[in-house]
Structure 1
Amino acid sequence: MKALLFLLVLFLISVPQASAADTSQVDGTHQVRISELYSDLESYDVTLYSNQPEEDLILEASLVRPDRGNEEAIATQTFSTGSFPANTRVMKVGFWDIRNAERGAYTLRARLLDQGKVLSESEYDFVYGSNSASRLQVDDLVPNSEGITVALSPNQASIFDLEYMLVDGHDVLYSTKTEKVSLTSVPEAFSASWGTLLENNKEYTGRVKVRVYSPSRGFIASAENFTAIDDAEITDIYEDETGASATVLGRSQVPFEGNLVFSVYELQESSGSGSSVFVESVRERVPVLLNDDDETVEVAWEERLTAGVYRLEIELFGNNGDVIERRETIIESDLSASNASEASPDAGNETSGEDGGNGIPGFSFATGVAGLAVVFSLFKKLH
């Protein structure tokens, strides 16, 4: 009897397990949903997830405020999600333009649509202007072509996550996260570099989202616009009477495709006015640079600079032909005109014998002696 009762109990327990297995098979079909939401009165983000690739779904985001028992939709934005891959969390970002905002409760209501059919919907509630101060506050935010920097001040010792985002329209082009960062009592700046290429003269938005763990999970977000530009700097130069070089360091995620121009001017001491006479100019392309890449560009003068003092001007031109940086230095040469001629690249082609007066080159004399020795040796063997 006990054995029969045991088998009956075992059968009853196994029935829900079989049902759960059937549910997991149903979950394996096409699913697309809104997995996470956040909003304040400046910006919002909606995280989407699908187990299949998606194309051109419609996301509708509404900012709603209770009004005497009713709801008032303050702002609504509708846009295409474009395409996104399967099994990947994809974040879409939007920005509110709310003026004269009132304190109180607000709701972000998001719906994901496909040809008018609601695939998923979700809500996020928040309060604007509450008296409860956050553990952290954003003091400043500076995004640029290199990356993004945020200055945070702690109201209390805090542990938090920092997420940096590069936003173009509603799309997050690049994001990176630093987890379990801490602040105790002193403000501190945190930075991240963009890990993607930027387009020259295009406007982007840099956004940070701070997740504070306690006393309960909360978020702080801040965003600023910037225009991406190509940028670089000259970090080191070398110069002498034979040529010059300059090392260029990239300072942007816009690919730098600029040029260096080396110009030499001879200073005129006799004039007393500090004037100079143009000697020559050399233009060289700088290899393509990104942020923190560096390359050294070398040039040689057409002729070695003779004795005198010269002014070397080095100009770094950007992608659009604008001068990004200009450096000047002095070249002091003590090379006489005759020495310069002898040391010139063409000097090796001139004839100069060892005894000077007979006009016979040294190497020709040595060759002649060796030839005579060979002929004499052969003559002895024949006789």
Structure 2
Amino acid sequence: MKALLLILVLFLISVLPASAANTSQVEGTGPARIVELYSDIKSFDVTVYSTQPEENLTIEASLVRPGRGTEEVIASQEFLTGSLPADTRVTKVGFWEIRNAERGAYTLKIRLLEQGQVLSESEYDFVYGSNSASRLQVNDLVPNSEGITVVLSPNQASLFDIEYMLVDGHDIIYRARTEKESLTSIPEAFSASWGSLLENNKEYTGRVKVQVYSPNRGFVASTENFTARDDAEITDIYEDETGASATVLGRSQVPFEGSLVFSVHKVQETSGRGSSVFVESAREKVPVLLNDDDETVEVAWRERLTEGVYRLEIELIGNDGDIIERRETIIESDLSPSNTSNVSSGAGNEASDENGGNGTPGFSIVAGVAGLAMVFALFRKLH
């Protein structure tokens, strides 16, 4: 019987999942709890789960440097969770500002509180500046108003997942994930576009978190701040003596609500740029654009441009009234002033030809039909 009991205990130990070596957690009695942690020397994230809706719980974070019998708190902060929906994992992000960080072991300690009462707490251990090289390293990270690009280089052939995060304060307002990416021997760039609208002139943080599976589950993270700007570019233009058009392509997740200004100047000298005389300008609003959206805007001149060479200047004006791009081209017209007057009066001459000349066609047809009808009626009466 004792042997059977011993076998049962050994079986249970073998099938129970092992906890991560660098993470420990103490559960509270409340419905909300910490389910996942990560930290390095620059940033951390904490994932909270609740079985019922919660409002504005407090996350208390401390970065601790273990010592001999004592712990040194390197940095600490606290912030509110905001709204926590029921049965939903919500991740919050925090950032450390550690100057002249020392190599060695660190511990992230997180407590989840409600009105001072601890609902859940957890710890995450990591080593900064370790001599043991990671299988992957971040060479460069560039977030901007379009999206985010990270350059990774492998120390060994690796298979990994990448999580891209757009962070506003402590909130992840957009995240995307690609799985089973691979690198063998040379660096490579990986990118993602933001799927969320951005506010013009506002600062955000771009963050990537790379998970490598082998030989042990490990993470590499990197963050970089950027200021969102409205942006667009002119990709195509068309011009002649009657008008012009420009195609504008959006280059930002800040809604572009700018305009195009078309200005025509007649060149006085045929050689070189020469001097020019202003003829006219037109300003048209560009339809609202986001990243990779494009629209074509057209304008017509008040009068067709007569014979000569003209300089066309097109300015793309941004949301704040700044000039984002300026393009110049040439319009060459062979339309003489006499041709212009003939063109403008041609429609009236055609109309008079139709109604005048050798008679009115409409009247002749009506008279002929009426005559035939009278003859037909007289013929029937005689018979």
Superposition TM-score, scaled by structure 1 size: 0.86
Change (3 A) 1:349 1:321: farther
1:162 Cα offset (Å)? 0.5
Q: Contact conserved, 2:270 with 2:309, CA < 8 A, in 1?
A: no
Identity of aligned residues (%): 74
Residue of structure 1 in register with 2:362 after alignment = 367
Change (3 A) 1:167 1:116: same
- Count of residue correspondences: 351
Residue of structure 2 in register with 1:106 after alignment = 106
Q: Deviations over 1:24-45 (max 9, x none)?
A: xxxxx96211110000111101
1:217 Cα offset (Å)? 0.9
1:349 Cα offset (Å)? 4.2
Residue of structure 2 in register with 1:55 after alignment = 55
Aligned partner letter, 1:250: G
Q: Deviations over 1:21-73 (max 9, x none)?
A: xxxxxxxx962111100001111010111122211000001001112221111
Change (3 A) 1:59 1:350: farther
Whole-Å separation in 1 of the counterparts to 2:256 and 2:132: 47
Residue of structure 2 in register with 1:150 after alignment = 150
Alignment of 1:314-353 (within 5 A): 314-344=314-344, 347-349=346-348, 353=352
Q: Contact conserved, 2:267 with 2:273, CA < 8 A, in 1?
A: no
Aligned partner letter, 1:348: A
Change (3 A) 1:335 1:55: same
Whole-Å separation in 2 of the counterparts to 1:156 and 1:235: 42
Q: Which runs of 5+ in 2 are unaligned?
A: 1-28, 379-383
Q: Which runs of 5+ in 1 are unaligned?
A: 1-28
Aligned partner letter, 2:177: K
Whole-Å separation in 2 of the counterparts to 1:157 and 1:297: 50
Residue of structure 2 in register with 1:18 after alignment = none
Residue of structure 2 in register with 1:200 after alignment = 200
Alignment of 1:261-276 (within 5 A): 261-269=261-269, 274-276=274-276
SS at match of 1:214: coil
Whole-Å separation in 2 of the counterparts to 1:103 and 1:353: 95
Change (3 A) 1:272 1:331: closer
Change (3 A) 1:338 1:352: farther
Whole-Å separation in 2 of the counterparts to 1:369 and 1:362: 13
Whole-Å separation in 2 of the counterparts to 1:44 and 1:270: 65
Instruction: Determine whether 1:166 maps to 2:166.
Output: yes
Change (3 A) 1:50 1:270: closer
SS at match of 1:89: strand
Moved more, 54-63 or 268-277: 268-277
Q: Deviations over 1:247-305 (max 9, x none)?
A: 11000000001101111111113899711111111111111100000111111111111
Superposition TM-score, scaled by structure 2 size: 0.86
Change (3 A) 1:306 1:257: same
SS at match of 2:361: helix
Whole-Å separation in 2 of the counterparts to 1:203 and 1:225: 7
Aligned partner letter, 2:347: G
Whole-Å separation in 2 of the counterparts to 1:56 and 1:173: 17
1:336 Cα offset (Å)? 2.1
